[in-house]
A and B are shown apart, each in its own frame.
Chain A
Amino acid sequence: MQADLVAGQPRMSILLLGGFDQFSNSSLRFSPAKCLFIAALLVFCSFPSPGHCIADEQPGFQKLFHLVGIPGLRRDERVDLATNSDGLSFQTKKVKYQVPYARIHQVLLLRADRRYEGRTYAATLATYGIGSLFILKKHHVDTVVLDYVNERGGKMGIVIQMETSQGDQFKNLLNGRGVPIVEPEGISESLSK
């Protein structure tokens, strides 16, 4: 019974049980109850955590660039976006801001580019100036323009930037929720050019 329980477990549990037989006459003695408890603990640890399961069911978008619109956040500050049944939830350590799906009027998805000044600066310092050419390197992102109304009916807006792969995922997610998405063709303008 014990052997069945721990059959699929790591070597440690087998050693423990083996140890029980081997050292049954020595000073290192394990009671069967203890062995069962340890085996159960190992089996429990091998399952993914419940919290992780929930996170998988509700996809989130990490480290997006906030450009404008979320109260209390600066431009270019990183923000996480979580989705739930009610709406979109923008979160940082300090700020939490929710936009219900029902209030979203339209979402624009634009192709854009970003330049990373920090990396350019570091490269410039490291290479005695030659690294400044790193500024020419563009990083493709998707710009999301969220058009919604507040509780008083006033027009509001949020602009965020995310990786292109995240953009596709975000589009599919909003389509599933019935939020209209507009993708203007031929627009490759960026806030960061």
Chain B
Amino acid sequence: MRSVRFLTAVIASAFVLTSFAAAEKKAGKTAEEKYEYVQVNRFDVGQGVDLPADYQLTIIEDLNKELAKIKGMKQVLREGEALPEAQRVLLVTGVVTKYKKGNQATRYLVGFGAGSTVIDAHIKCYDATTKELLFERDVDGKVIMGIMGGKSEGANNGLAKEIAKDIKQKFF
């Protein structure tokens, strides 16, 4: 009976400590790194990368949509829009470093990774006011399989989701 009580007490105290640690971590982020406004610039295309013109736009539109879903986000600003006064704004830029066109029919009929669409990008996050580099990372979006092979634009969406996930973890 005593051992059961002891075990319960240990689990409860561990839970409380974990909760405190998580709260402290979140509070720390709030004080130092939290942003409520994000400005997304159109991504550049690396040398030798044959990215279709419509993809360049689709990536940004998908990214804007994904960023707008983040809890605590007040506004996603477009390139060219005036920054809000007295507010910290996170500036997101990126370069598409690799693009593999892929083929939906091959994905559907052959499978095993054949015909996959791949988009790689290198993103950088700055403080829009101070221009200080806060975060940079390589991200990718892939379509390897899906219903009827999966549509290739899923790669743009995957890329946008990954970037939004990183930004959420780091700054929100």
A residues apposed to B, CB below 8 Å: 67-69, 75, 108, 110, 112, 115, 117, 120-121, 132-133, 135-136, 143, 145, 147, 149-150, 152-157, 159, 184, 187, 189-193
Contacts and interface: CB of A to CB of B under 8 A. Distances in A.
Interface string B35-70: 000000010000000101111011011100000000
Contact of A110 (B52, B58, B81): B52
Contacts of B42: 155
Nearest to A152: B81
Given A120-B148, A135-B104, A157-B57, A189 B82 contact: no
Interface string B77-89: 1111110000000
A135 B101 contact: no
A117 B148 contact: yes
Given A145-B57, A155-B80, A193-B103, 4 more contacts: A110-B52, A155-B42, A193-B104, A193-B117
A69 B61 contact: yes
21 contacts: A67-B54, A67-B153, A68-B58, A68-B61, A75-B153, A110-B52, A115-B148, A121-B148, A135-B105, A135-B148, A135-B149, A136-B109, A147-B57, A150-B81, A152-B81, A157-B60, A159-B57, A159-B58, A159-B61, A189-B54, A193-B117
Contacts of B81: 150, 152-154
Interface string B160-171: 000000000000
Interface in B88-104: 101-104
Contacts of B101: 189, 193
Contact of B58 (A135, A154, A191): A191
Contact of A191 (B55, B82, B149): B55
- Closest A-B pairs by Cβ, 7 of them: A154-B78, A189-B52, A154-B81, A117-B148, A157-B57, A68-B61, A191-B153
A135 B109 contact: yes
Contacts of B54: 67, 108, 110, 112, 143, 145, 159, 189, 191
A154 B104 contact: no
Contacts of A115: 104-105, 148
A191 B148 contact: no
A153 B81 CA distance: 5
Nearest to B102: A193
A150 B80 CA distance: 10
Given A154-B79, A154-B81, A159-B58, A108 B53 contact: yes
Q: Select the residue from B52, B54, B60, B81 with max chain A CB neighbours within 10 A.
A: B54
B51 to A, nearest CB: 9
B105 A187 contact: no
